[in-house]
Amino acid sequence: MKRLKTILLICLLAALGTLALLPAGGCTVSIPPDTDWATRTSAATQPAGGDELQALLTAYGEALVKKDRARFASLLDPGSPDFTRQQLQLFDRMKDVPFAQYRIALVSHTEPQPGTAIAKVSVAWTLAGSFSGLPEPDRTAFTLVRRQDGWKLAGDATQQALGKQRNVALWDQGPVAVLSGGHIMALYHPGQEATARQLVSEGDAAWPRLTQALPGTSLPLIPVLIFDSKAQIDQAFPGKWQEWTGGAARMLGPAPDQGGEIIVDSALYRQTNTASPGYNGKMIGHEMTHVVLFPEQATVTPPFLVEGLADFVGGEKQTAMLRQKLAAGERLSPGLDELCQPSAFQALLSTEAADLAYEEADTAVIYLEQTYGNGRTLDLLREFKRREHDHTDQKQLVDEVFRSVLGTGFSDFENRWTRFVLSGNA
């Protein structure tokens, strides 16, 4: 979150990557699952033994869920000491992570020589107390060897199978500690405990405002992944974020039970505590709102409603530039009508345009909530979602939805909103 040009780069990248997963714009980030393998396999040429390999992979996931180190160690090849050491270190770093499920599914396998297999797998996990649906999986690959007592994991074959290293997770970068409040679950490296504590209390503080604007919201704990630095985030999501602005929400899949997570750069977060006291609390409220809204969004949702609502919950409201332009009779660029286009926030190419767009979004949602009642923005979002497949011209759709939910067409709404901003009530 932040009205900086940098966030637009993030949004732009997100939009290019995964429109399907991220229906409306905003400062959210979506990382697509890896979809291509470096080498192809056909089902017809699969060697036998897939069931045994899957049983081993299932046992690996179960050992991680049950924190059964002895069982976990028994699945590793004693003839591959480096890999075994690395896996046990990983196990220890994950020992406090409350996995509800850790699913490794065999996608395909080859047996380049008898007794050695390369298994392509998909990996996904859920956290106890958090979203119950498995997210879109990551892909990785293992080398396995057959020993007297069955197949054993003997190496990481991701580079070979995928053409690149597997995605780096928080636990690849060090031990992971977990701290849960009433609404978020912070996962962090022990050095970032102060950030985790502050985030958990800020998340709890944001909740009453969130349920006021989003009545009826009930959500499991939202995972917040706290990285030490921008460099660690770049490792975990290579090439996805050129710039980093403190916090971003990421959709974990299109189904409501897959939910989303929030990613935080602790170094920047700590700097922001000093540079802009209070901003971090707004940021977490803003990003939590994005996670709540993921299932409410559609391809036709005007993004100003989403960004404005996220800022409304966060408590962010800047109006100076907007009021000045309106008072001077300047044409707004972009105007609120342009911010109804689904990709409007990705198309903003200057810091000033972005600042203005957020000021419009913020004041429009404040106007909506104050004039039409708490929760009315959510009613609009739901009506857009309901009409997602109408194939109506966007401008006409916006007018019809506003008319049906508020009893006011869009241009009338725009005029009233302008007067509201000029009156200084925003």
Q: Could you list the residues that contact Zn ion (CB under 5 A)? A: 26-27, 310
Q: What is the number of the residue whose Cβ is closest to Zn ion?
A: 27
> In terms of CB distance, is 26 or 203 closer to Zn ion?
26
> In terms of CB distance, is 310 or 398 closer to Zn ion?
310
**Shortest distance (Å) from residue 362 CB to Zn ion:** 11
> Quick one: CA dihedral 358, 363, 366, 371, positive or negative?
negative
**Shortest distance (Å) from residue 22 CB to Zn ion:** 11
**Shortest distance (Å) from residue 230 CB to Zn ion:** 19
**Shortest distance (Å) from residue 314 CB to Zn ion:** 9
Q: What angle do CA 124, 128, 130 make, to 5 degrees?
A: 80
**Shortest distance (Å) from residue 7 CB to Zn ion:** 8
Residue 222 neighbours by CB under 8 Å, 6+ apart: 130, 183, 184, 185, 203, 259, 260, 261, 262, 288, 291
Q: Which residues pair with 103 in a beta bridge?
A: 124
Running DSSP on this structure, what letter comes out for residue 32?
P
Structure tokens at 303: 């993004």
**Shortest distance (Å) from residue 289 CB to Zn ion:** 8
CA distance 326 to 321: 9
**Shortest distance (Å) from residue 401 CB to Zn ion:** 21
> In terms of CB distance, is 60 or 304 closer to Zn ion?
304
CA distance 162 to 96: 29
Residue 44 three-state SS? helix
Residue 133 · residue 86 · CB < 8 Å? no
Whether cis (ω within 30° of 0) applies to the bond prior to 334 is yes
> In terms of CB distance, is 154 or 381 closer to Zn ion?
381
**Shortest distance (Å) from residue 287 CB to Zn ion:** 7
> In terms of CB distance, is 26 or 61 closer to Zn ion?
26
> In terms of CB distance, is 64 or 264 closer to Zn ion?
264
> In terms of CB distance, is 21 or 27 closer to Zn ion?
27
Q: Which residues pair with 144 in a beta bridge?
A: 117, 153
The beta-carbon contacts of 51-54 under 8 Å, at least 24 apart in sequence, are 52/150, 52/151, 53/106, 53/109, 53/117, 53/119, 53/144, 53/151, 54/105, 54/106
**Shortest distance (Å) from residue 223 CB to Zn ion:** 18
**Rg of the Cα atoms in the chain:** 24
The beta-carbon contacts of 318-323 under 8 Å, at least 24 apart in sequence, are 318/3, 318/355, 318/358, 318/359, 318/362, 319/359, 319/362, 319/363, 319/421, 319/426, 320/359, 321/352, 321/355, 321/356, 321/359, 322/356, 322/359, 322/360, 322/363, 322/421, 323/421, 323/422, 323/424, 323/426
**Shortest distance (Å) from residue 307 CB to Zn ion:** 5
The CA-based dihedral angle spanning residues 336, 337, 343, 344, taken in that order and rounded to the nearest 10 degrees: -40
> In terms of CB distance, is 144 or 293 closer to Zn ion?
293
> In terms of CB distance, is 53 or 225 closer to Zn ion?
225
> In terms of CB distance, is 109 or 286 closer to Zn ion?
286
CA distance 49 to 56: 11
Structure tokens at 5: 């040009």
**Shortest distance (Å) from residue 2 CB to Zn ion:** 9
> In terms of CB distance, is 129 or 315 closer to Zn ion?
315
